[in-house]
């Protein structure tokens, strides 16, 4: 479980999502789980829902011809504070880049940091909107086929998670 959300197009800079993407590229179903970080983190909801999600995927894997790559983000909330589960699309970039120069003795380094939030109102239906509104975001990602949320298996998985934690 990654400590810090991986939302919008910024997922393509994420080591957590990158590891899941490598599995997917080898034909293995994969889930990247991340939790929004604000003065601490709530891992219990991600652990419980992530375990249920893994169980659902394992029980339905034989029904899929194409493996799934899911990017799942959790709000900064305990399970009781989560207001829903959404099947989402990737939102726009959440953070702008900046380059930081670091001098360490005789060596000079440049770090690319993604730590300046973009000041745009996120669109409803995106992962960014869901997490900002205390909702779990489930995004099916396939870099080669952009409209993954129309897959009936993904819709069914999102519905199973909603039922298992008794929230909409």
Residues 119 and 154: their CA atoms lie apart, in Å, by: 30
Q: What is the mean pLDDT of the chain?
A: 87
Residues 76 and 67: their CA atoms lie apart, in Å, by: 29
On whether the CB atoms of residues 165 and 159 are closer than 8 A, the answer is no
Residue-wise pLDDT tens digits, 19-41:
999 999 999 999 999 999 888 78
On whether the CB atoms of residues 127 and 8 are closer than 8 A, the answer is yes
Residues 124 and 130: their CA atoms lie apart, in Å, by: 7
Mean pLDDT on 57-77: 90
Predicted confidence band of residue 151 (pLDDT cuts 50, 70, 90): low
Going from N- to C-terminal start, the domains of the chain cover 2-93+122-164
Predicted confidence band of residue 149 (pLDDT cuts 50, 70, 90): low
- Report which of residues 156 and 23 the model is more confident about: 23
Structure tokens at 97: 């880049």
On whether the CB atoms of residues 12 and 71 are closer than 8 A, the answer is no
How confident is the model at residue 88, as a pLDDT?
95
Mean pLDDT on 89-112: 85
Structure tokens at 11: 């997922």
pLDDT at 147 over 70: no
Q: What's the CATH number of domain 2-93+122-164, 3.40.1210.10, 3.40.50.300, 3.20.20.70, 2.10.77.10?
A: 3.40.1210.10
Mean pLDDT on 93-108: 84
Burial 58-97, CB ≥16 within 10 A → b, else e: eeeeeeeeebbbbbbbbbbbeeeebeebbbbbbbebbbee
């Amino acid at each position: 479980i990654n400590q810090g959300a991986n939302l919008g197009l910024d997922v393509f800079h994420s080591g957590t999502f990158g590891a899941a993407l490598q599995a997917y590229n080898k034909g293995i179903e994969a889930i990247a789980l991340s939790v929004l970080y604000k003065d601490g983190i709530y891992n219990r909801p991600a652990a419980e829902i992530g375990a249920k999600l893994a169980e659902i995927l394992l029980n339905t894997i034989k029904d899929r011809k194409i493996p799934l790559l899911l990017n799942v983000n959790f709000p900064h909330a305990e399970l009781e504070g989560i207001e829903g589960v959404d099947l989402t699309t990737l939102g726009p970039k959440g953070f702008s880049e900046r380059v930081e120069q670091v001098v360490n003795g005789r060596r000079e380094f440049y770090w690319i940091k993604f730590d300046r939030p973009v000041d745009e109102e996120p669109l409803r239906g995106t992962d960014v909107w869901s997490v900002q509104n205390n909702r779990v975001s489930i995004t099916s990602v396939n870099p080669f086929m952009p409209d993954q949320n129309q897959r009936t298996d993904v819709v069914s998985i999102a519905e199973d998670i909603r039922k298992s934690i008794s929230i909409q």
